[in-house]
Amino acid sequence: MKFNTKTIHAGVHPDPETGAIMTPIYQTSTYAQAGPGDHKGYEYSRTHNPTRTQLQDNIAALEQARFGMCFSSGMAAIDAVAKLLKPGDEVISTNDLYGGSYRIFTKIFSHYGVVFHFVDMNDLEATKSLINDKTRLFWVETPTNPLLKVIDIEAMSGLAQSCGAWLCVDNTFASPYLQNPMTLGADIVMHSVTKYINGHSDVVMGVLVCNDETLHEQLTFIQNSCGGTPGPQDCFLVLRGIKTLHLRMQRHCENGRAIAMFLRNHPKVDKVYWPGFEHHPNHDVAKRQMRDFGGMMSFTLKGDHLEDAFQVISQTKLFTLAESLGGVESLCGHPASMTHASIPKEEREKAGLKDSLIRLSVGIEDVEDLIEDLKQAIG
Ligand SMILES: *Cc1c(COP(=O)(O)O)cnc(C)c1O
């Protein structure tokens, strides 16, 4: 089955009882047993729920993986992966990382004796130099937020294999439509389902997929023991959202391309960060491992004044100022004062996060309207 067909058919089947085409919302915590232990595969909904099962199977198929596990948020999924680790274990992670991932690693799991290294993974030598006999996990996020750097997943897989570590890829920004890390050597793929997979900004959820049976056993053990599982209503909403993932992504990419070109030619815009440009430093890797370049981008304004950026984001009418991304509606954000505000200005500048940097999550509206909106806002 090819990708577009999978979004609609993989893992889901008409209800055997009634023939209902759409997966029912099994709003139940428990299941009748004919005798002790004599059940139909479902005992308690933290462990298994039929609506969740169909969603897990569907996302696993989209990522070309055998197993899927859904969690109550992207962070709960990341938490489950980190719980594979023991005190003394070391993790090598992307440095340009989602803030919540950085926070859970440095503020929660470092207290349990897990050691984290953050490195620019485009620097293979620097990354390699962090490997030692305690390295257990490579944590890769690509494309990165908000500078849209692209990391070579196959190269990271090679490094992880060389030291017997797992490779987990946070694939949230790309979505399974643009990139399938399992086919590039990842052991685990993680998503904030909240973003592109659900795509309608009405659910918070996370997912992990993997191929290895032992890893799947360990992760489902953590999922069930720690209990960060989603309810059936949310699983239903995500199943519904996924059915148009391919159509949405196609439009996100088309609109993204048009807006990146518009911004690049705007006299007041300084730099545009979007991996689809040939001059983007990681364009070749992006072309190799991604199907298209997506609808996420950032740009800076000439002069780099905070006030100018504030002016733009307060004037847009269709681009709503908000956290999050990947929904059908266009959003804009200002990393220096929002997601990355807690980082001191000097550190921010060192990381390339300028004061005038504006991040866009380009939605699937008519692109002419989106461009008009940016035109009047940038002035
Ligand atoms: C949003 C996000 C997360 C966290 O997911 P939640 O669903 O908000 O818990 C993790 N990684 C990336 C790249 C994200 O954008």
Distance CA 118, CA 13 (A): 43
Q: Which of 15, 31, 42, 46 is catalytic?
A: 46
Distance CA 372, CA 379 (A): 10
Distance CA 259, CA 70 (A): 33
**Mean pLDDT over residues 121-142, rounded?**
98
∠ at Cα 207 (206, 211), nearest 5°?
A: 165
- Atom number in ligand 1 closest to CA 326: 15
CB 145 within 8 A of CB 96: yes
Q: Please determine, for residue 235, whether its predicted confidence score (pLDDT) is greater than 90.
A: yes
Cα(105) to centroid(ligand 1), Å = 14
Q: Is the peptide bond before 275 cis (omega within 30 degrees of 0)?
A: no
Distance CA 256, CA 273 (A): 11
The model's pLDDT over 198-214, given as tens digits with 9 standing for 90+, comes to 999 999 999 999 999 99
Indicate which residue's Cα is closest to atom 7 of ligand 1.
Answer: 74
The model's pLDDT over 172-182, given as tens digits with 9 standing for 90+, comes to 999 999 999 99
∠ at Cα 224 (56, 14), nearest 5°?
A: 30
The model's pLDDT over 356-369, given as tens digits with 9 standing for 90+, comes to 999 999 999 999 99
**Beta strand spans in 95-187 (E):** 115-119, 135-141, 166-170
Backbone dihedral angles phi then psi of residue 360, each to the nearest 5 degrees: -115, 135
Q: How many helices (H) and strands (E) does the chain have?
A: 14, 12
Residue among 146, 194, 142 nearest 171 (CA)? 142
**Mean pLDDT over residues 262-291, rounded?**
98
Q: Please determine, for residue 342, whether its predicted confidence score (pLDDT) is greater than 90.
A: no
Active site residue 170: yes
- Atom number in ligand 1 closest to CA 204: 7
Question: How confident is the model at residue 96, as a pLDDT?
Answer: 85
Indicate which residue's Cα is closest to atom 2 of ligand 1.
Answer: 192
Indicate which residue's Cα is closest to atom 8 of ligand 1.
Answer: 74
Active site residue 112: no
3 state SS of 275: coil
Cα(169) to centroid(ligand 1), Å = 12
195: Cβ below 6 Å to ligand 1? Answer: yes
Q: Please determine, for residue 126, whether its predicted confidence score (pLDDT) is greater than 80.
A: yes
255: Cβ below 6 Å to ligand 1? Answer: no
Radius of gyration of the CA atoms of the chain, in A = 21
359: Cβ below 6 Å to ligand 1? Answer: no
Active site residue 291: no
CB 29 within 8 A of CB 44: yes
102: Cβ below 6 Å to ligand 1? Answer: no
**Beta strand spans in the chain (E):** 67-71, 90-94, 115-119, 135-141, 166-170, 188-192, 206-210, 269-273, 296-301, 320-321, 331-333, 358-361
Question: How confident is the model at residue 28, as a pLDDT?
Answer: 98
Kindly list the structural domains of the chain, giving each domain's residue range(s) and its CATH number in brackets, ordered by start.
Answer: 3-242 (3.40.640.10), 245-378 (3.90.1150.10)
Indicate which residue's Cα is closest to atom 4 of ligand 1.
Answer: 74
pTM of the predicted protein model: 0.97
Residue 228: alpha-carbon gap to chain centroid? 18
Q: Please determine, for residue 160, whether its predicted confidence score (pLDDT) is greater than 80.
A: yes
146: Cβ below 6 Å to ligand 1? Answer: no
- Atom number in ligand 1 closest to CA 324: 1
204: Cβ below 6 Å to ligand 1? Answer: yes
CB 179 within 8 A of CB 275: no
**Mean pLDDT over residues 41-69, rounded?**
98
CB 197 within 8 A of CB 60: no
Tell me the torsion sign for CA atoms 98, 101, 105, 108. positive
Tell me the torsion sign for CA atoms 41, 46, 49, 53. negative
Active site residue 98: yes
Distance CA 147, CA 145 (A): 5
